[in-house]
Structure 1
Amino acid sequence: MGQKVLLVEDNIIISRSLETKLKEEMFEVKPVFNGEDAIKQFDMIPYDVVLLDLMLPIKNGDEVLRHIRSKGDVPVIIISTKDSDVEKAINLGLGADDYLAKPFSMLELVARVKAVLRRSQKTT
C-alpha cells in the first residue's frame, strides 16, 4: 500500500468521500471521528500525514494538533469550516503545515497532501 493518512473528520459523509478519493490515489487511509480516537490512533501507528478537522467531539482539533506536535513533525493539514484569517494564523502558528477551508475541491486536497509529503521527505 501507499503512504499512511490519518483522517480525522467527524462528518461521516465528508470522511467517506475523502477516504474514497485518497484510496484512489493509492494512500492507505485510517478514518477516525473524534479527537480522543485521533490521539489514540496517532500514538499507535506511524502516519505520514494527518488531515485534521478542528470542530471535533470529545477533544477538539487544537488539542489533537498540540498532541501531534508534542510527538514530532508529521505533516498536518487542517480541513475546517473555520475560514477566518485569524483561525488560519492561529493553527499554522500551533504547527499545522497547511490549512484548507471547507468546502474544498478533492483535486486541491490531494495536491496539498502530495506537496506536504514531498516537503517532509526532503527534510528526512
Structure 2
Amino acid sequence: MTILAVIFAALAAALHVYIWVLESFRWTEPATRKTFGTSESDAQVTRPLAYNQGFYNLFLAIITAVGLVLLGSERGTGAALALAGTGSMLAAALVLVTHDRSMARAAITQGTLPALAVVFLLLQL
C-alpha cells in the first residue's frame, strides 16, 4: 500500500506544481485562460490573485514532497506531512465543487490524485 500512497501523492504534488506554473506565471496566456475559462480582461484583473493562489498550490506540493521524502526515515512525520498536503489539496477540490457545481471537472482533475493518496496513506498507517 505504501508504494501506491507514494505514487499518488507524488503525482498530486506534480500536478499542483503544474497548477502553480499556470496560475503564477502563465495566467494571462491564451491556453491558460482557456483552461480556467477566464477572459483576457478578467485574467489581467485577477492576475495578482492567481499569482498568490499559485503559490498556495506550490506550498501544498512542497509539504507533500517533504512528507514523501521523510516516509523512509521518519514514517510518522512523513505520513503526517504527506496527509496534510494531499488532504489540503483534496479539501480545496471539495470547496471548489461545492461552491460552483460547474467546476466539477476541474475539481475532479484537482482532487482525484490527492483523494487516492489520502486513502492509501491512511491504509498504510
TM-score, normalisation: structure 1: 0.31
Q: Which has a greater percent of helix?
A: 2
TM-score, normalisation: structure 2: 0.31
Q: Which has a greater percent of strand?
A: 1
